[in-house]
Structure 1
């Protein structure tokens, strides 16, 4: 184990376990089970809540609250993200994405495990694993999730219109069609006859929800959460088995901080969301951070969650690859719709999108890499039937506004006529049927979900403390054009209309399969983790979710993520269990500013200063850090209030020391408005060189994950050739140190970052307007402070300079 973080202090009394798993999706659930089964002490930290059968919302009121934003009182299932070129839908709940995915367990095609495949703009996609490496683990995951194909050849499943239509379309277009394995219980147990609504017996490891389950009722509600428990989601399978093996699963526990622990292992900081806060706004940034340590840390919070955690805690991992945030991909996701299908005679053809599970079948379009099926330049993809719950069909019918208004008008006119003519016809069933319409719009329509090998050239970074993704469809346009052409061909052979998503007008897509951010590679210059998901340079730290993928899976990625996690666990369990010491050599934290005894008659003052500049992680020289930081757009700024309790004593004291409060903002250090916990300011401290004065800044703060940092800054005021008084008093050279250090401890602290800040003229004018005094003699206090400031400047730039220059 490494000894990074030795200045962060010890954690007396903190809980310690063998392994912490952050997140409970396909990577985390597999790791939790495998490690717990092997006898390791495992804690799973999941930010969302459990969803037993029957608890998934369906009513409009409940669905409106079924979103994740605890600061707004929302503890729901769906977590939606909108970036500049794309959007993403992910899950927050025990079981992760398995709660809302469409159950498909396809393997990544063998030839799509590309090696050194060039990408636009430089670089390449490279998979350090092969299909042969993963096949045994694919097998293991399929067994655990009890994969079954949709029983299309048996009644009542053979009447599924959308499955029949997809098979027919593939046949007419000469494309491959299949019934993919699904993690759905159609039969109560292997070998039994599939029928809807039959009781599903619990497996030997039990069911952590303790509620009954039934086989699939074909309601098309998979993506909203299965209230029947027919989905073999991770809570019913891997997580139940993990809990049975002794794993401690903690829901509503959201991880904020990560860091190497003193002496080895890792420290994790998290907050707990109180279920009683659901429905009301909560200042979640003020929730107390709790601490737990471990020998191994598995990050499996999903592509967005894991990458965000690593970015916000990057200051604690100085050796982490610069590829962090690279290789983002949406897995080629694209949703379109075929409308009003017709049969060969021109009559209405039902597609019944709401009958069956969401996805029943898949059409595969080959890649240029597929043996014997080479199409130059083509990046392969799948097109799958994308069903939906019945409520969507009602919405579709009522969305046809002109027709609905016309039918409503005819109905009202008919009832008015009956009243005026006193018609004896009291049965109005035909009129109501006409009001409802024929339903051909919803009955003859079907969503098409495409996914495949888009170009993984996106970059994830922090922007003003928020996760941002720089990815557009531009470099993947040939891929999307080919996919849309196939979807249009499917609509054509079904004699249906075709409609793109409204977002496509702006060439935007929404992905439900975001991938990348901490990609696998052969070395740190190529990736963040190795082929087993272990972070380069940090033994015992693993990324086992979609963030580790170096490019698109092409197929639905759930099975591949789970198989990669299963493979990684083999490697983890082959190694001897780590038992590093946790005492470390941590430096004692710096003392807080000394309490001063202030006379009731003392007069103090305060002012607020704002400075901006650039820094670079890993740089020790401020000038070099500023140069690189400016080139890469790595900004740092602070806003600080300097408070002098006693102006007279401040002037008389040789250290001229005052307290500082405020905040620091820097995406490279975790985000915006990081509060200063303690701060010291020294004005014009005399150095060994009598011709020099120094202004000193020392700020204790923490990154977004709670990892303690110290900003040490100085302004050198000396008379160099030229007019340099403004530059000297407005330029701050800074280093950011690991831990909270005092002046005596700086020599042993690791330098996290360095750079240069400056005060701009508009900021200086604003600062002058912030001067305030308190006490009986404000004008005199300001005069003393100003006299000190100007007097020291006069001495440096005139008197001392004159003594040096005149013989």
Structure 2
């Protein structure tokens, strides 16, 4: 069984933040996302493509939209790498300071376990990472945006508070630059998981169906790319089916890989173990997992499933609206989906009789929606609509109705469907969180009614009707337009596993940790104890950032390098009984003595004996690290690397290592220039991706001659069957023309030895495989950006390392006197 420090389930605003923070802190992280990646240019556009863009694996649908239908309301969530950020409208508003309360069904309210002051530093961090900016309405060509002007006019006429909210969109090619349409966006230092160029916003109104230009600063372009840069393993099309505590500590996660090349009935359920499990599968996904796994978690709070809220969402349309000059129909397709917001005050703001606060934002739709209108003949359209409504009618009378209607909507759309028109409006705010999620016949069901929040919805409708009057439009609820009469549509489901001050009040504490289950966290909208009010994405991300800060402060920012769990006995918290993550548990059968001790690797133990060779104490040391990726071929049963690289039965092998010199002074002074190596080795013959339990790297060590140096690797791991293995390799840097520098320093001759073989024992060991690995130029370019130094002399350490490396190469390849 595979074992890592942290497993994150889901890649939305909670999961992506958690994956990045934990990986950046040095934890081994696997993120499991059920959907697939969507690089710019891959989002569906044509009628047939959008008709398949729904999530229902049982029906063979693996698309982006996951549509749920419950009694009284419908809900849309997302499936794909980046979660809800793929289809959200980019608004990143902070929760109002006075709104950190939960309204009680019988009246009154109680404060949340967290406050705005608690979250403000984390709001700052998320905004900086994602990159936010208001719509640049004061500049050309953005001034001509009819829907934004319409919102301004309506707000001014009605005396409402209007603003341009922060948006997670790149209007400019880099931060601080002038905005422009369709300009190439500068890549951040951590790169991009898709490897596809991005361009600034084209004002095409396609945000909610996926941005094919990459102008949205969605999570795959930001947090997830940074997480991958720091070593997080992002596994797409991996759907989690069950979770449970692990005897002795930690958790196990069962998942299925939705490999479309493998028939559904033959896709195996696999299991991964972890010391820390972070659930971020969304309100429905996380709560569903916990409800299904309740028998395995008997100490879960009775609050599980409670405090469900739709964040007061109300979708409406202003039909036949005119532009501000009342001459031509308003074109809602120009600009991002949302550019502006109107805020309705709350009684908590000091506005007597105002009721619960709310927001209203204009929507938009792609300019190409005209394809929806002529795509169907009237008779064919009627048949599909009737069939859809009949299925809804039948489901209503079932004891356990199928609440996932993605398949039905896919059939309804088919090759086209009726379009919406004019100006969409999205309202949201502080509804009453009195809904409950539960299992019925193995399916997720929600018991919720809009009746207790009727005053909130009535206020929104009244304001929207007034806006329609100002704009000369007709008002219509989405339910009337979309064949869901008198139903609410929410895109912001919250609650189900709410936080609380104790287990009688909530499922998790104020930091998202589940009561009674250390190391199990909830990092998504399920943890909200009530509505956020404004768009909840930023608050969910800030909560996740706060969760990670707390967990890392408690557990330490160190990398734990583990083998399979069966080798770690009953050790808890990443293989260490005391939870320090410092190394293997007592009694573990690890690599041989001397194979990887701190003295040999230059690690920081703090002991006087290991401070020899350095004139400074441990606290004053400067460390240096970089990450290296090498790929190539090996052949099992071969002992010669060159023969193993070209044999017909060869197979791919990759490793990704973080090389760290904890004391740069000692690293440079020692003739072997030894550093530690951590990461993973991946090969089918080794059982897939295997964690390096201990590793060593020598940088340009003596090679037996003045004009020869060796870059040596020794990595200890176990294969998929639990057998100990040692990967040994060397780069042969020998005198020759300068054109040899690149091939010599980028070519690694490797052998995989049976057992954990100490230094000096290679000749007597059995080689089970051999081959050659290389650094590709794109990987080398990324490697250069990974160099990091920390300590008092960090900048100087990077310079000294560069001089050492260049000087050693000069000694080898430079002209030799005769």
Deviation at 1:497, TM superposition (A): 1.4
User: 1:560-590 deviations in whole A, cap 9, x for unaligned?
Assistant: 000000011110000125989963499xxxx
1:374 aligned onto 2:382: no
Deviation at 1:16, TM superposition (A): 0.9
Alignment correspondent of 1:39: 26
> Quick check: 1:349–1:444 contact (8 Å CA) kept in 2?
no
> Quick check: 1:330–1:552 contact (8 Å CA) kept in 2?
yes
1:387 aligned onto 2:373: no
CA distance in 2: counterparts of 1:18 and 1:503, whole angstroms: 49
Alignment correspondent of 1:84: 71
Deviation at 1:50, TM superposition (A): 0.3
1:510 aligned onto 2:489: yes
Seen in structure 2, the aligned counterparts of structure 1 residues 569 and 557 have a Cα distance that, compared at 3 Å, is: same
Q: 1:33-432 residue pairs with structure 2 within 5 A?
A: 33-114=20-101, 117-120=103-106, 126-276=111-261, 282-283=264-265, 287-342=267-322, 347-371=326-350, 373-376=351-354, 378-393=355-370, 395=372
Aligned residue among 541, 551, 555 for 2:534:
555
Deviation at 1:398, TM superposition (A): 9.3
> Quick check: 1:125–1:456 contact (8 Å CA) kept in 2?
no
CA distance in 2: counterparts of 1:253 and 1:125, whole angstroms: 39
Q: Which sections of structure 2, spanning at least 5 residues, go unmatched?
A: 379-417, 573-818
Deviation at 1:502, TM superposition (A): 2.9
TM-score normalized by structure 1? 0.63
Q: What's the secondary structure of 1:159's corresponding residue? A: coil
Seen in structure 2, the aligned counterparts of structure 1 residues 206 and 499 have a Cα distance that, compared at 3 Å, is: same
Seen in structure 2, the aligned counterparts of structure 1 residues 358 and 584 have a Cα distance that, compared at 3 Å, is: same
> Quick check: 1:384–1:449 contact (8 Å CA) kept in 2?
yes
Q: 1:704-783 residue pairs with structure 2 within 5 A?
A: none
CA distance in 1: counterparts of 2:352 and 2:118, whole angstroms: 25
CA distance in 1: counterparts of 2:361 and 2:45, whole angstroms: 25
1:479 aligned onto 2:459: no
Alignment correspondent of 1:456: 433
CA distance in 1: counterparts of 2:92 and 2:297, whole angstroms: 35
Seen in structure 2, the aligned counterparts of structure 1 residues 268 and 532 have a Cα distance that, compared at 3 Å, is: same
CA distance in 1: counterparts of 2:370 and 2:159, whole angstroms: 31
Q: 1:580-729 residue pairs with structure 2 within 5 A?
A: 583-584=569-570
Deviation at 1:192, TM superposition (A): 1.2
Which of these two proteins has the greater Rg computed from alpha carbons? Answer: 1
RMSD of aligned alpha carbons: 2.5
Q: What's the secondary structure of 2:439's corresponding residue? A: strand
Seen in structure 2, the aligned counterparts of structure 1 residues 311 and 177 have a Cα distance that, compared at 3 Å, is: same
User: 1:319-346 deviations in whole A, cap 9, x for unaligned?
Assistant: 100000000011111111112224688x
> Quick check: 1:265–1:540 contact (8 Å CA) kept in 2?
yes
CA distance in 2: counterparts of 1:343 and 1:219, whole angstroms: 18
CA distance in 1: counterparts of 2:524 and 2:518, whole angstroms: 17
CA distance in 2: counterparts of 1:159 and 1:187, whole angstroms: 18
Deviation at 1:400, TM superposition (A): 14
Q: What's the secondary structure of 1:88's corresponding residue? A: strand
Q: What's the secondary structure of 1:150's corresponding residue? A: coil
1:541 aligned onto 2:520: yes
Deviation at 1:22, TM superposition (A): 0.4
Alignment correspondent of 1:718: none
> Quick check: 2:47–2:372 contact (8 Å CA) kept in 1?
no
Deviation at 1:291, TM superposition (A): 1.1
Deviation at 1:71, TM superposition (A): 1.9
> Quick check: 2:104–2:432 contact (8 Å CA) kept in 1?
no
CA distance in 2: counterparts of 1:503 and 1:39, whole angstroms: 52
> Quick check: 1:262–1:585 contact (8 Å CA) kept in 2?
no
CA distance in 2: counterparts of 1:363 and 1:398, whole angstroms: 36
User: 1:117-142 deviations in whole A, cap 9, x for unaligned?
Assistant: 4224x896541111111111111101
1:501 aligned onto 2:478: yes
Q: What's the secondary structure of 1:479's corresponding residue? A: helix
Seen in structure 2, the aligned counterparts of structure 1 residues 123 and 443 have a Cα distance that, compared at 3 Å, is: closer
CA distance in 2: counterparts of 1:394 and 1:271, whole angstroms: 36
CA distance in 1: counterparts of 2:571 and 2:92, whole angstroms: 48
CA distance in 2: counterparts of 1:393 and 1:473, whole angstroms: 33
> Quick check: 2:146–2:324 contact (8 Å CA) kept in 1?
no
Alignment correspondent of 1:22: 9
Deviation at 1:391, TM superposition (A): 2.9
Deviates more, 1:388-397 or 1:197-206: 388-397
> Quick check: 1:66–1:76 contact (8 Å CA) kept in 2?
yes
1:575 aligned onto 2:554: yes
Deviation at 1:74, TM superposition (A): 1.1
CA distance in 2: counterparts of 1:212 and 1:344, whole angstroms: 37
Q: Which sections of structure 1, spanning at least 5 residues, go unmatched?
A: 1-13, 402-440, 587-807
User: 1:148-200 deviations in whole A, cap 9, x for unaligned?
Assistant: 11000001000001101101110111111000000000000112111110000
Q: What's the secondary structure of 1:213's corresponding residue? A: coil
CA distance in 2: counterparts of 1:38 and 1:114, whole angstroms: 33
CA distance in 2: counterparts of 1:49 and 1:105, whole angstroms: 24
Deviation at 1:500, TM superposition (A): 1.5
Seen in structure 2, the aligned counterparts of structure 1 residues 513 and 146 have a Cα distance that, compared at 3 Å, is: same
> Quick check: 2:479–2:488 contact (8 Å CA) kept in 1?
no
State the number of aligned residues: 525
CA distance in 1: counterparts of 2:234 and 2:198, whole angstroms: 21
CA distance in 1: counterparts of 2:456 and 2:490, whole angstroms: 15
Q: Which has the higher contact order (CA 8 A, sep 6+)?
A: 1
